[in-house]
Amino acid sequence: MSANTQTPAITAGDILALKGKQPIVSLTAYTTPMAQMMDAHCDFVLVGDSVGMVLHGLPSTLGVTMEMMILHGQAVARGLSRAMLVIDMPFGSYEEGPEQAFRNAARLMRETGAAAVKLEGGVEMASTIRFLVARGIPVMGHVGLTPQSINTLGGYKVQGRAEGGAQVLDGARAVAEAGAFAVVLEKVPQVLADEITAAVPIPTIGIGASAGCDGQVLVVDDMLGLFTAFKPKFVKRYGDLGVQAEAAIAEYAAEVRARLFPAAEHVFADQAPSKTSSKD
């Protein structure tokens, strides 16, 4: 075996096999440099429709288009060699029916190189998931808080409290039975997340759920402190890069206005320095 043989890319089957074993690590990514930094550390990287809010300034994920997902998916794919690439299906690209979902999922995978798609919904999406999986498209489910449904959910509220827990559990079971290889549990009570994790045979990926889930995912701009418009309770900031970036920009602006930048070491002489040196 060659010494520089690359480690094979992680597949949906590999993620499924981690159920109940080593915790699965994931983050969202939208650019090549960020994907390159994640590749060695994440099991899968999600090109999330959260890109609409954190990079494009949209008020929700509802305005995200197929073209936006493809553009950012292609960028992330260039930065990955090991981690699995999963891409969100944007609002309006799959809800109409299985055939619409297949056309758009196939396009996303074909044009980005993604290994799987993620779509939101539980029982109502089971037939669509089954249709896609039967035609060779690995699917990651998403239940609990489904951001594409905020207009019917009444905002970004915790889902599954009290009697609502049965609906979320049923949705996770339906997604698993339909053939999804994993399911995201977003913003659900910890006890419910643990119950779902024990009840379904596929990995659960928590975001505002429980440490007992089979894995975790966060929006990278949230955990790095780059997105500062608001901070969800379930986010831990592992950096404050937004504060540092703003301070750096302010310092740059001040130096430009004071004519301190560019300094002598940042400009070029009229003539290039000679490559020969005197022996004197």
Show which residues are catalytic.
186
User: Which token pair is 82?
Assistant: 């090991």
**Sign for the pseudo-dihedral over CA of 241, 75, 205, 17:** negative
Alpha helices in 113-240 (DSSP H): 126-134, 150-153, 164-177, 190-199, 220-223
Please give the structure tokens belonging to residue 116. 């799987």
Tally of CB atoms within 10 A around 221: 24
Q: Is 121 left (phi over 0), alpha (psi -120 to 50) or beta?
A: left
The answer to whether the beta carbons of residues 80 and 39 sit under 8 Å apart is yes
3-state DSSP assignment of residue 132: helix
